Amino acid sequence: MRALVIGSGLVGSEIGDDLARSNTFSEVVVVDAKAENLARLKGKKIRTVKTNVFHGSVLTKLLEDSDIVCGALPGRLGFEMMRKVIGAGKDLVDISYTPQDPFALDSLAKKNNCILVPQCGVAPGLSNICVGDASRRFSKVDAVRIMVGGLPRHPRPPLNYQFVFSPDDVINEYTRPARIIDQGQVKFTPALSGMGEMRFPGVGELEFFVTDGLGTLPTSFPNVNEMAEYTLRYPGHARIMESLRTIGLLDKVLIEFDGKSIEPRRVVLELMRSLSRDSGKEDLLAFRVEVRGRMGRRLGEVRYQMLDFYDPRLQATAMARTTAYTCTAVTHLITQGKIPRKGVVTPEELGTDERLFRFVKMFLKARRVLLRIRSLSK
């Protein structure tokens, strides 16, 4: 089989390398517009193509020669890429968090007899799979709280942060209103709201704030009373980003300065890139999903927790590992014919099948990504 990976950033390159390490694929083609991104790839079975997939007929030819596709583009590009891949009748597992609703592609995927698993990274993605698994254990789900953060192992002030995925998508976490479920109603709340502090085992004190990372969960579980996703950072980071946003430094609207048009957001991004490099490559991924519900008359909670670190042997960040391996696990599910239907199949739908959930959990474990599950009852 031949796999095609579209996008070779920090996560996309690890998707390509992990697929290439598998005996399932005879060739893995990875395409990206930047040579420096393609240079990250290390797999012997990998063929790289430097091109913009949205120009000309390049993508059409690449799709013709592929059996399955993994998408790893920034969110602003993801939906159009998904539409093209599904339009060509190819199965696709995609990690991007797009502004558009992936369910809009359901009829096209069914018409072309293919599977689209959208938003299948770590969060949304693995977090949704965990919620799906928890829903199978309860007669009714009451509340969902997701807390995830990619953080530098050795933080450096003032931001105590380093980029571990698309910088544009990181900034979106501080600016995009977050969709939550509050008292049974879907609502939007400003990004960076709901700030609080918690202690994460193995890391220490962290802060959290609401971000727009539920993905397809509100559509899949509309009867849940409370549901929200929180991003984790080292204490003090959120207030700095809130101040930058308040004075307009995270805006995309151009301002005139010294006879030139400048986008404030681009300036902040470049400064953050510099600070990010100073923190080095080593990162960690803190992950917790708490699902409360009812088991008959009893109240219960299932907690999924994970702490992962930079892998020096593979030179893979914790964010790349946890995101990429969730994507490649589901890619293997498709190639093995274990997903029984066509159309848009959400990560949480996969989690509701005990066999599929166990496959993903063991796939991650084989790569030393350990997801621990604890059940509590009252």
Last residue in a domain, options 54, 87, 118: 118
Higher pLDDT among residues 206 and 275, named by residue: 206
Q: How far does CA 43 lie from the centroid of its chain?
A: 23
Token look-up 């592929």 returns: 66
Distance CA 149, CA 305 (A): 12
Element (H, E) at 69: strand 68-71
The DSSP bridge partners found for residue 228 are 145
- Both 107 and 223 in one domain: the answer is no
Residue type, 324: A
pLDDT at 297: 78
Last residue in a domain, options 98, 118, 138: 118
- Both 133 and 277 in one domain: the answer is yes
Q: Is the distance from CB of 47 to CB of 28 less than 8 angstroms?
A: yes
Domain contains 56: yes
Mean pLDDT score of the chain = 93
User: pLDDT confidence of 237, banded at 50, 70, 90?
Assistant: very high
Token look-up 């018409």 returns: 111
Q: Is the distance from CB of 206 to CB of 191 less than 8 angstroms?
A: no
pLDDT digits (tens, 9 = 90+) for 258-302: 888 989 998 888 888 777 666 668 999 999 999 999 987 789 999
Distance CA 80, CA 326 (A): 22
Domain contains 154: yes
- Both 301 and 178 in one domain: the answer is yes
Report the CATH number at residue 154: 3.30.360.10
Cα-only R_g, the chain: 20
Distance CA 320, CA 9 (A): 9
Domain contains 337: no
Residue type, 89: G
- Both 160 and 243 in one domain: the answer is yes
Range in 53-57, 102-106, 194-198 the model is least confident about: 53-57
Domain contains 367: no
Relative orientation angle of helices 318-335 and 354-366, to the nearest 10 degrees: 130
Last residue in a domain, options 69, 89, 118: 118
- Both 166 and 271 in one domain: the answer is yes
Domain contains 342: no
Domain contains 330: no
- Both 259 and 184 in one domain: the answer is yes
Report the CATH number at residue 23: 3.40.50.720
pLDDT digits (tens, 9 = 90+) for 60-98: 899 999 999 999 998 889 999 999 999 999 999 999 998
Residues 6 or more apart whose Cβ sits within 8 Å of residue 179: 186, 187, 188, 212, 214, 218
Helix (H, G, I), strand (E, B) or coil at 346: coil
What's the domain count of the chain? 2
Task: Read off the tokens for 279.
Answer: 């923190």
Domain contains 334: no
- Both 103 and 172 in one domain: the answer is no
Q: 307-334 burial, b for 16+ CB within 10 Å, e for fewer?
A: bbebbeeeebbbbbbbbbbbbbbbbbbb
Domain contains 152: yes
pLDDT at 218: 96
Distance CA 45, CA 336 (A): 20
- Both 195 and 297 in one domain: the answer is yes
- Both 95 and 207 in one domain: the answer is no
- Both 111 and 146 in one domain: the answer is no
pTM (predicted TM-score): 0.94
- Both 102 and 158 in one domain: the answer is no
- Both 278 and 158 in one domain: the answer is yes
The residue segments making up the domain with residue 37 are 2-118
